[in-house]
Structure 1
């Protein structure tokens, strides 16, 4: 496992041809932390990590929305027509979803 200290890259390294080396370090969950004035300025992550983090963020937002809806639930049940509109017709595939 790589130490976070091994993945600290000064921003000046990018202007000295070091961008390629920094990008090659990214992967397998090892982000590169770009330092500017001895403070973290940016983090470089792999596309797979970006997708994973983005999906986790979206899932968490959906979780929070579900929690809010459960908290404000008054027990009112809606018919399929109320949910999908007055022109709602069940599918002809024999499968009828159950609504509680």
Structure 2
């Protein structure tokens, strides 16, 4: 089974920003569900230096036809200069859940 659903990953500077972004995506019907993992530790290179940050991770469930708007919304509302936006195709899963996503996102 091939689906037309996508899972988008992003991080936010804190849980409040993550919730605000999640609620915007849901209320504007850009995502059916957003999981907020309130605390993740991130280690990365930034401007030539090793950086450590405590962030919040979002797992955004949406449809492929909404991807451009989801990406633009993240870029517009995000506090980071270069926000993480990674998109994963959802190949298969629970058909009942996908039907629910279709209902919510129409």
TM-score, structure 2 length as denominator?
0.22
Larger RCO (alpha carbons 8 Å, 6+ apart): 2
| Higher strand proportion (structure 1 or 2) | 2
| Higher helix proportion (structure 1 or 2) | 1
Structure index of larger Rg: 1
